[in-house]
Amino acid sequence: MTADTAQIEQVVGTTVSVALRNLITVLGGVGYLFYLAPQLTLMLVVAVPVVVLPIVWFGRRLRKISRESQDRVADVGAMTTEVLGAMKIVQGFNQEGREAGRFAAIVERTFDTARRRILLRSIMTAIVILFIFGSITTLMWRGAIQVAEGILSGGTIAAFVLTGALVAGAFGSLTEVYGDLLRGAGAASRLNELLKEKPAIAPPARPLELPAPARGSLAFQGVTFRYPTRPEVAAVQDFDLIIEPGETVAIVGPSGAGKSSLFQLAERFYDPQAGTIRLDGVPLTSVDPAEVRRRMALVPQEGILFAANARDNLRYGNWDASDEAIWEAARAANAEEFLRALPQGLDTYLGESGARLSGGQRQRVAIARALLREARNRAHFCLRRGLHSGALFDQVTNATD
């Protein structure tokens, strides 16, 4: 996305102005040529389709390869982000050489695609310029004959040749600009695909309202769920569970048993292929997903934080929370001590993904964030690997001491 946006910015900020400048030169130049020698200019205009044909033929192929080039650039960015984000793992397993080789291979593929794009664009530009100057040379020959016959003066043909050269240069530049526009079109098509994406979980046409105030009951009835990426394996099979308001239930099982999948379903990130999930007696599929999630707060296995200060991370689910409420939640999550020790307290920037905190500290901030959100939703139930009607706790202590 970053590379595509930068490409479009370049097209809009630079290429368009160059295109307009050269287009004005071409139009003004052709008008002046008509004034100087209408017959010769008419011959030049007749030759335009011959020049346009290679632009159209090469343009279709250039747009396709420009899109491919943007895909390869995106692959480089994705791999760079992945490896840098897992640098400790790479170094811990002594895989620097392998990752360097993978990076070199993907960069080489990107370079090959870019080279093919540049070669195709260069051939198109060369053919267009060849045809244009070939046409002008032919017109010069015809103009020389008219000068010899006394139809045109020497000054007129000189002005015609000079203006024709300017028009030819501007037209050649337009061909270069056309290549840039095609590359921008490829980037725009990629972004357009993202913008057209529709969420798989959409609100129903006539959503039902959840009871107010929240009671805090959750029921799974005959639920079967398969992830779209693994349709052959059931993450949850014929699952039944009823959690009453205020009740605490522990779900224990080996990795892959579907414990985290229950949270995905409770938050309605996915819908089950069979069965029904009810929140306070209302089927989740009949409720706006935003309303369901508004009554819950999620604490995933990984303590996910944002590149912001501690205060904004803590009140992410409750922006109206006061500092007093923030410190109360931090105290409950055993995060108060290290938060007060930060250089600027709650105003301290925590870095990308909370990089300035340890793993355990990030997890405690995530817990405090969920508790702060839960403060708005007093009615609650609890499911461990846990759930409050405001908080979903998925192995929240896995990173804490």
DSSP 239-260: EEEEE-TT-EEE----TTSSHH
Per-residue confidence in pLDDT tens, the chain, 401 aa: 666 777 777 777 777 788 888 889 888 988 888 888 888 888 877 777 777 787 778 877 887 887 888 788 888 888 888 888 788 888 888 888 999 999 999 999 999 998 998 888 888 888 877 887 787 788 778 888 888 888 878 888 888 878 877 887 787 777 777 777 777 777 777 778 777 878 778 888 888 888 878 787 889 999 999 998 888 889 899 999 988 887 777 777 787 788 888 888 988 889 999 999 998 889 998 999 888 888 777 777 777 888 889 999 998 878 888 888 899 989 988 899 999 999 999 999 998 888 888 888 888 888 888 888 765 444 344 444 444 444 566 665 555 55
| 3-class DSSP string for 80-116 | HHHHHHCHHHHHHCCCHHHHHHHHHHHHHHHHHHHHH
Contact assessment for residue 216 and residue 200, using Cβ atoms and an 8 Å cutoff: no
Instruction: List the structure tokens of 305.
Output: 């934080």
Burial of 206 per CB tally in 10 Å (0-12, 13-18, 19+): exposed
**d(Cα 71, Cα 230) in Å, to the nearest integer?**
25
Number of H-type helices and E-type strands within the chain:
13, 9
Domain 298-376: CATH architecture, name and number where available = 3-Layer(aba) Sandwich (3.40)
The top-level CATH class assigned to 2-196 is mainly alpha
**d(Cα 322, Cα 301) in Å, to the nearest integer?**
27
Q: Domain extents for the chain?
A: 2-196, 298-376
pTM over 0.75: no
Q: Name 164's Cβ contacts closer than 8 Å, sequence gap at least 6.
A: 29, 33, 44, 136, 139
